Every structure is written in C-alpha cells, then in structure tokens.
Chains A and B, each alone.
Chain A
C-alpha cells in the first residue's frame, strides 16, 4: 500500500519536475505575482497630485504649503491664481486635491482662529478620498501645533498622539506581503492538485491507473501528497522572499507558522481533490478552481477586514480555510504569536481539512465506481 502510494508520489513529482515548462509554471508566475503584489498592492498614498489656490500669499500660507509639499505624499501640479480651473482640474483627474487658502487666512490666524481653509477632494474613489482627508488633517494638525508654539499661543485643549504597535510607520507592505503567502500558496496548491486528475483523464492514463490494484484511497493519497509538498515548498519560497527581499520582519517562530501552513495546505488539497474528482477536463478543473478561489480570497480578509462585513457574510467566512491561515501568518510575522495563542485558528482549519478530504474521498469513490 505505502509503496504504491510512494510510487505514485514519485511519478507525480517527476511528471512536474522533468518538464522544463511545468517547472517554470511552478516558479515563474508565483514569483512574478509576488513582485506585482508586493509592489503594486499598497494602501499607502504617494505622489497625490494637488493644486493649491492661495488667495492669501503670506508667511503663514507659505509655511503651510511647505508642510504639505514637504511630505512625499503630495506632489504639486499647479498653483492657481483664480478659482476658475478648480473644477476642470479635478474632473480631468489632473489633481485629486485642491487646497484653497482663504483671503482671511493670516488675519484670522493672528486674530480670531480658526482660520478658514478648504480642501476639495476627488470623491470618485471614496477610499482614496478618505485617506487624503486623513493625511491633510494630520499635516494641518502639525501646522497648528507648531504655529501655536512659535507664536506663544495656548496649545489646543486636546491633542491626539498616535502610536502604532507592531508596525510603527504603518507600512502597508508589512500587512499585505504576509497575506500574499496565504494567497499564492492557495493558488498553486489548488491548481496543482485540481488539474492532476483531469490531466490524466484527458491523456487516458487515469483508466490505466484505475485498473491497477490501487484502491481509490491510495490514488487519492498519491495525488494529494505531491500537491501538499509542492504547496509547502511554494510557501517557503514566498516566506523567504517576504523576509529577505521585502524586509518584512518575521518576529514569531517557524513552528507556529508551519503548523498553520501544513493544516492550510491540507485543507486546500482536499478542496483541490474534490474539484479534481468532479472535473472531466482540465478546463472544467480550472473553472472549478477559480470558482472557489475568488470568493475565498474576498472572504478571507486579505484586502478588506472581515469585521467590516455584514454578520451573515462573517458567518460564511468561518468555512474558509484561508481566513484562518491569513490570521496566523499575519500574527506570526508581526506579533510574535505562539502556538498557544493561535490555537483558535488551528482547530477550525483542521476540521475543514478533515471535512474536505472526506468529501474528496467520497466524490472520488462515487465518480470512479
């Protein structure tokens, strides 16, 4: 039994690794995706184009403008002399923010604060607009504080001083790159496992396999384990790249990370095998894999927090293995989480793994016999 399964595993690995093209498929696209995601997927705003309409050219307004443009966040596109172009600039997406400094700015600053300022923001992307508003508020806050100190004014009665634990500079890369470990591991494992049976069905070798004395469960194991190994390997490559290339700190130990990884890859392998059992062709298998993959990514908290979702959707995420592994990988990377602390994430994944493997086995028997 064991020897037959071993033979099947060796065969699967050889089939993947002997062919230069399929070797490339395993290594090339995931690395490209890692680079694309690592660099492109960021919540940080940089070089937001702004226009400034300064109706009160003065010492104070120059200071304020300098603070705005001093940060890499904003990039000056135009200094306006009249309000006539404001609409046009925003409508044509040349700028995302127009800062209007009122004629009474300096006067009110010196005599009767608050001094009037207006920010006109492009609201078509609400997320970006909120971020711009936040940045602008922070800069203005700093300006108010330093102005008060320099001019012997009383400080504002209450000031918020924010400190971010785990990610002091709030770099979104630290949040996203560990998520990519979960994302790409799922994609690769699902494709390797999901397509393996369909490929043999198309080539006609699956019948050949079925008429050997191997039982369906042997074939299932022989097909699942190579996917597991490849998934683990893929995840290790991405973890290494996250640490060595993207310099995301890996604060926790490898044990809690890999315990979660093994459970996660097992659960995904079970889902891949179930898709494999149902699909007659590679095309169907591919479709099935994506049908699972897209909702699973959205419902994992990869991009949008699960806590923000409606309650019934939150309940739906409970059967999504990626949700748990995402929590684990982020906790281990940033929080130095231990196995104990993550127990609540491990056992649901173990349950899902058992359920998905059992379903795959049942479907397999049903389809084969």
Chain B
C-alpha cells in the first residue's frame, strides 16, 4: 500500500536503479550520459532528480520509461524489469517529457479527449476524471480555449492533466517548471503535493533549479552522469550546518566577494543583495578576523544552509584543480576610460504596440555606468521587446531611449557598436570552430588587422580557449560554450553588455565563474543588462525591475524589493516570494529609478 504507512516493514520501492549506465555515440565521439547510478525511490513520495543541464536527467527518465535501451545495469519499476518488459511498465507509468506534445490547434477539452482516447480511458469515466483534473489544474474555465493560446504555465498544467487522464502508479515529470513563471511554478508544486499526499501516486521529478530540492521527499543529485548524493534534502543541508554566513563590510560588495572567494577555508562566496553569502570548508564559529586583510570591519552572521551549498561543497571535493588563478579575477578587457560617468542607458515612457496589443507599456528606467541591471519577468512579460528596442532592432511606438549617448531612433547602428550581446543558450555557430567564431564576430564588429589579432589572442588566453581553438563549437562542453559566447560578445570591448538568461541550467561552479567575470567587467565600468526569468540571477543585480504584461511593477535594489514583500508570516522572503507578492498586487512603481 502507499507509503506514508509506518516503516515497520520495508515496502518494495516504486523504482530501483542498480548501476545504470548509458552512453551515446555521436560520430566518433562517445558520450557517457549515465555512469553507474544506484538508487531507489519510495512509493507515494516525490523523488527529485536534480542536476544542471547535461547531467543525464532526461536520459535517466527515458530509460525508466523504457524509451531507451539500457546499456548496462538494471531498472525495476514497481517490481518489473524495464528492459525485459517495457510495455508492462509503460502501462503503469505516466511520462511528461520536457516539451509535452500538446496539440496547439485543439482546445483544452479536445486535447484531454485525444489523450483519453490514446490511453483508452472508458467514456463513462471521463466526465468525473476531467472534472477532477480541471479543478486540480485550475483550467476549468478555459476548456474551450486553444492550447496554443495558453500561457507557458497553463500549457504545463494542461500537459500534466493529459498525462494524468489515466491515473498512473508512477509519474515521471521532466523539468516541468523550467521557464514557467513563479506563480505557476508554485501551483505545479501544489498539484504534485496533492498527487502524492491524496492520490498516493509516486512522482519522479527532474529539475535544474536547486531550490526545488527542498520540496522533494528524497533527492538524487546528479552531475555529469554520476550520482553526487542521494537522500532526504534535510540530510544534504545538515552536512553543511554551521558553515554558511552572511558577510558584510565597508569594502564594496563585489570586491568583498572577490576577496572572500579566495580566502582560505572558503569554498563559496556569492553576492546576495547587499551582502556576500559565504560557505566555509568546515563548521567554524563566526570569527571574521584575518579572513580578508582589506576588510578589517568584516562581520559574519550565521545563516541556515541551503541545498546549493552542499552541491557546491561536493563539486569542490570532486574538482581537484586549484581555485581559479587570481589574475583571472581582475583580468579585464581594456576598456576606454575616457567615457564620462553617469547614465549609460536612459529610457522614458517607452511603449511598444503591435496592433492593439501593448507589449511594453510606459516603461521608464535608467542604468548607470558599471551597474548590473536586471529585467526580471516570466516569458511574455515584455522583456525581449524592451531588449530589442534597446538594441535598436525595433522602433518604439512612443517614448525616448538613449543608449551610450546615442538616440536609437536616429543612430541605431553606431549604438549597436557599443553593445555586446550574449543570447540565451549561448547561440554560436555550431558548425564553425572556436577560432572561426571569434574571427567572424570580431569582423562583424569591424575589428581588423593588428587589433583584431590582439583581441582574438586576448579571448583565447582570458577564456582559456587556446587549446580548443580548432574544436567545432557544437562539440564543446557547456562551460566552454558559455565562455566562447561571452568572448564573442566582448570582442569589440563594448561599454554595455546584454545578457539573456545567461546561467539558467548551468552548474553552480560554472555560474559562479561566469558571474565572477561579469562582476569584474562591471568593476571596470562595463554596464551590464540582464534579462531573466530565473530568480537566482536577479540576486546578482545591483538594481532590477520586475516586469509583467508589459509594465514595470517594481523597481529598485533586490534587497529593497525583497524587504517590501516582508510579512509577519515570512520575515525573510526570497526573490521568488517578492516576485509573487508584486505580481499578485500590481502597484505603481513608487520608487522607480
């Protein structure tokens, strides 16, 4: 019977993995996707497969569902060997892949009908089942709407409802919360909780968001095909007890972060709001003396550990190479120092209409030189329309917009020469080699001759790409793709750098390395604009605006925005809490910058 029952007799696990291995062949290369995973998932519980993109989560899901033939090892679902009897397993599980196959030209009800037909749900049972699913997903008032016209979060919920038309014993969900706005994300979690607590379903859930670990009953932490940890989320954080602190000092927070990252006995230092969050190698009392010579007034305040701390600690233990050379921390592209300080980006009453649809509605903000500024919002909030106008790719319907001293209505091309842009998912020319990508982007930015050669040489040393200069970009590891994309965006020493969701899905160490570079750039006077729907990236910003439906709902420093969401029940709200509070109660941006 379902778990939740006393653990006196050990019930058979819903899922057991024994030394699961899988490799893919791409041409001559052999990729190890899974390298000996052994674990179990209890019945009636939520088991999280947690790991960055490329960790092997989807491969594992597909092996469990019997959609891939296992190379070695054994998977048992509800006591059935998947490799021997995939059909018997498939009859009892529901699988929702990352891109669920909704038919966009069919209505919500027609999609449900279609999946009920495909899964052979008897007609007599449908009415009650649909009513239950629609109530659970909150889609009851949208049954006649075309699936293509639903928001991202509603599509995910409909996908989930379609997977559940025939209630499975084991439900596999592959990254259902990626790219979904925080409100829908919470609703998805409520549905999952309901499924396990009330319907006693077993759920296996994969995600790259580390903060979702704490919602799971049990966690498999996967990195590069290996199991880094397996247990209750509390066990992961318990290991880290007494090791995490908030650090404050009069030294600038970026400088403080850079120094702390290299301090002895510190394994992690990230900026969070106005403070720096530090994780130490061992549990120590909060003694700050002598940690950073430049900051005698350093204060450490203990803070509860997070799941991410334990991931970082485990990665550091794996990583035998020493911490990044100090030179890289301060190595900066030669910037033009004669630029005047002040506002680099100034937009006022910016509006963009497409027909009757208002994509961006009276948006105003300014960004100062050397600032890291965030545009935070769910998909469809108007971030990319704003961004396209800032690049001069889209003329505004109304309002003024100045970038690097140029009015974009009259001088878009010269303004673009001052902007570096790193697209989402590191869009590079995959067929070209590293060197060819660098050469192309430097030429596109009008570099030539000795300067072009010098900049390419700079990129190859600064980003350690020299050894891989002839590698095809598509075959690079994720971390190197990210470096190459950033190098390409920096070829022409831009004053302004636009980053589109730069680190979502990247492992924590790669994310830290990336932001270390971005912080160093900002210190050197480069203005950075980040568009993201990823709450964690907002923490790295000096200031940010929260956008929804084309409007700015809140603006200011991350700490201030979080402070505004403080309630008695939630004295220390996260950025996600703040986002939900702001979306839930739209108000005028009282302190808009």
Whose C-beta in chain A lies nearest to the C-beta of B416? A213
A41 at the interface (CB under 8 A from B): no
Chain A residues with CB under 8 Å of B393's CB are 207, 210-211, 368-369
**Contact between A204 and B444, CB atoms less than 8 A apart:** no
Chain A residues with CB under 8 Å of B439's CB are 7
**Contact between A213 and B414, CB atoms less than 8 A apart:** yes
* Interface residues as binary, B417-432 with A (CB distance below 8 Å gives 1, 0 otherwise): 1010101110111111
Chain A residues with CB under 8 Å of B333's CB are none
* Interface residues as binary, A196-210 with B (CB distance below 8 Å gives 1, 0 otherwise): 000000011101111
Give chain A nearest CB distance to B438 CB in angstroms: 11
Whose C-beta in chain A lies nearest to the C-beta of B427? A204
- Chain A: residues with Cβ within 8 Å of the partner, total of 26
**Contact between A15 and B444, CB atoms less than 8 A apart:** no
Question: How distant is the Cα of A368 from the Cα of B498 in the complex, in angstroms?
Answer: 19
Question: How distant is the Cα of A369 from the Cα of B391 in the complex, in angstroms?
Answer: 10
Whose C-beta in chain B lies nearest to the C-beta of A210? B393
**Contact between A369 and B444, CB atoms less than 8 A apart:** no
Question: How distant is the Cα of A3 from the Cα of B452 in the complex, in angstroms?
Answer: 12
**Contact between B444 and A214, CB atoms less than 8 A apart:** yes
Question: How distant is the Cα of A214 from the Cα of B442 in the complex, in angstroms?
Answer: 12
Question: How distant is the Cα of A8 from the Cα of B427 in the complex, in angstroms?
Answer: 16
Which of A4, A22, A369 contacts B394, CB < 8 Å? A369
Answer whether A207 and B423 are a contact pair too, CB < 8 Å, given A11-B440, A369-B394: yes
Chain B residues with CB under 8 Å of A18's CB are 431-433, 472
* Interface residues as binary, A1-13 with B (CB distance below 8 Å gives 1, 0 otherwise): 0011011101100
Question: How distant is the Cα of A11 from the Cα of B444 in the complex, in angstroms?
Answer: 11
State the total of A-B contacts with C-beta under 8 angstroms: 77
Give chain B nearest CB distance to A195 CB in angstroms: 14
**Contact between A11 and B430, CB atoms less than 8 A apart:** no
A14 at the interface (CB under 8 A from B): yes
**Contact between B436 and A205, CB atoms less than 8 A apart:** no
Whose C-beta in chain A lies nearest to the C-beta of B27? A20
Question: How distant is the Cα of A3 from the Cα of B443 in the complex, in angstroms?
Answer: 7
B194 at the interface (CB under 8 A from A): no
**Contact between A204 and B394, CB atoms less than 8 A apart:** no
**Contact between A207 and B427, CB atoms less than 8 A apart:** yes
Question: How distant is the Cα of A369 from the Cα of B431 in the complex, in angstroms?
Answer: 28
**Contact between B446 and A208, CB atoms less than 8 A apart:** no
**Contact between B427 and A215, CB atoms less than 8 A apart:** no
**Contact between A14 and B427, CB atoms less than 8 A apart:** no
Chain B residues with CB under 8 Å of A14's CB are 431-432, 436
Whose C-beta in chain B lies nearest to the C-beta of A206? B427
Give chain B nearest CB distance to A124 CB in angstroms: 41
**Contact between B429 and A205, CB atoms less than 8 A apart:** yes
**Contact between B498 and A211, CB atoms less than 8 A apart:** yes
Whose C-beta in chain B lies nearest to the C-beta of A205? B427
Give chain B nearest CB distance to A131 CB in angstroms: 48
Which of B424, B445, B488 contacts A213, CB < 8 Å? B445
Give chain B nearest CB distance to A276 CB in angstroms: 17
Question: How distant is the Cα of A144 from the Cα of B88 in the complex, in angstroms?
Answer: 80
Answer whether A4 and B427 are a contact pair too, CB < 8 Å, given A211-B416, A369-B394: no
A19 at the interface (CB under 8 A from B): yes
**Contact between B448 and A3, CB atoms less than 8 A apart:** yes
Which of A3, A8, A19, A211 contacts B419, CB < 8 Å? A211
Give the size category of B's interface with A: 20 to 34
Chain A residues with CB under 8 Å of B424's CB are 204
Most buried by B among A7, A22, A215, A368: A7
Chain B residues with CB under 8 Å of A214's CB are 413, 444
Whose C-beta in chain B lies nearest to the C-beta of A211? B421
Question: How distant is the Cα of A355 from the Cα of B439 in the complex, in angstroms?
Answer: 34
**Contact between B431 and A7, CB atoms less than 8 A apart:** no
Whose C-beta in chain B lies nearest to the C-beta of A213? B417
Chain A residues with CB under 8 Å of B13's CB are none
Which of B395, B427, B441 contacts A369, CB < 8 Å? B395
Question: How distant is the Cα of A19 from the Cα of B419 in the complex, in angstroms?
Answer: 31
Chain A residues with CB under 8 Å of B430's CB are 203
Question: How distant is the Cα of A215 from the Cα of B414 in the complex, in angstroms?
Answer: 10
Whose C-beta in chain A lies nearest to the C-beta of B393? A210
Give chain A nearest CB distance to B218 CB in angstroms: 36
* Interface residues as binary, B487-503 with A (CB distance below 8 Å gives 1, 0 otherwise): 01000000000100000
A212 at the interface (CB under 8 A from B): yes
**Contact between B427 and A208, CB atoms less than 8 A apart:** yes
Give chain B nearest CB distance to A220 CB in angstroms: 14
Question: How distant is the Cα of A215 from the Cα of B488 in the complex, in angstroms?
Answer: 19
**Contact between A19 and B428, CB atoms less than 8 A apart:** no
Question: How distant is the Cα of A208 from the Cα of B439 in the complex, in angstroms?
Answer: 14
Answer whether A204 and B425 are a contact pair too, CB < 8 Å, given A7-B443, A11-B440, A213-B414: yes
Chain A residues with CB under 8 Å of B436's CB are 11, 14
Give chain B nearest CB distance to A255 CB in angstroms: 34
Whose C-beta in chain A lies nearest to the C-beta of B390? A211
Chain A residues with CB under 8 Å of B444's CB are 4, 7-8, 209, 212-214
Most buried by A among B395, B423, B439, B472: B423
Give chain A nearest CB distance to B246 CB in angstroms: 37
Chain B residues with CB under 8 Å of A215's CB are 413
Answer whether A207 and B421 are a contact pair too, CB < 8 Å, given A14-B432, A212-B416: yes
Question: How distant is the Cα of A15 from the Cα of B428 in the complex, in angstroms?
Answer: 11
Residues 230-271 of A contacting B (Cβ, < 8 Å): none
Chain B residues with CB under 8 Å of A8's CB are 440, 444
**Contact between A211 and B391, CB atoms less than 8 A apart:** yes
Most buried by B among A204, A213, A215: A213
Chain A residues with CB under 8 Å of B391's CB are 210-211
* Interface residues as binary, A210-230 with B (CB distance below 8 Å gives 1, 0 otherwise): 111111000000000000000
**Contact between B432 and A212, CB atoms less than 8 A apart:** no
* Interface residues as binary, B440-482 with A (CB distance below 8 Å gives 1, 0 otherwise): 1101111010000000000000000000000010000000000
Give chain B nearest CB distance to A77 CB in angstroms: 53
Can you report 23 A-B residue pairs in the complex whose CB atoms are below 8 A from each other? A3-B443, A3-B446, A4-B446, A7-B444, A8-B444, A11-B440, A14-B436, A15-B431, A15-B432, A203-B427, A203-B429, A205-B427, A207-B393, A207-B423, A208-B441, A209-B444, A210-B391, A211-B391, A211-B393, A212-B445, A213-B416, A213-B444, A213-B445
Residues of B within 8 A of A (CB): 391, 393-395, 413-414, 416-417, 419, 421, 423-425, 427-433, 436, 439-441, 443-446, 448, 472, 488, 498
Closest 9 CB pairs between A and B?
A7-B443, A204-B427, A212-B444, A211-B421, A213-B417, A11-B440, A205-B427, A15-B431, A211-B391
Additional pairs, 7, CB under 8 Å, beyond known A15-B431, A22-B431, A207-B423:
A7-B439, A11-B440, A211-B416, A211-B421, A212-B444, A213-B444, A214-B444
Residues of A within 8 A of B (CB): 3-4, 6-8, 10-11, 14-15, 18-19, 22, 203-205, 207-215, 368-369
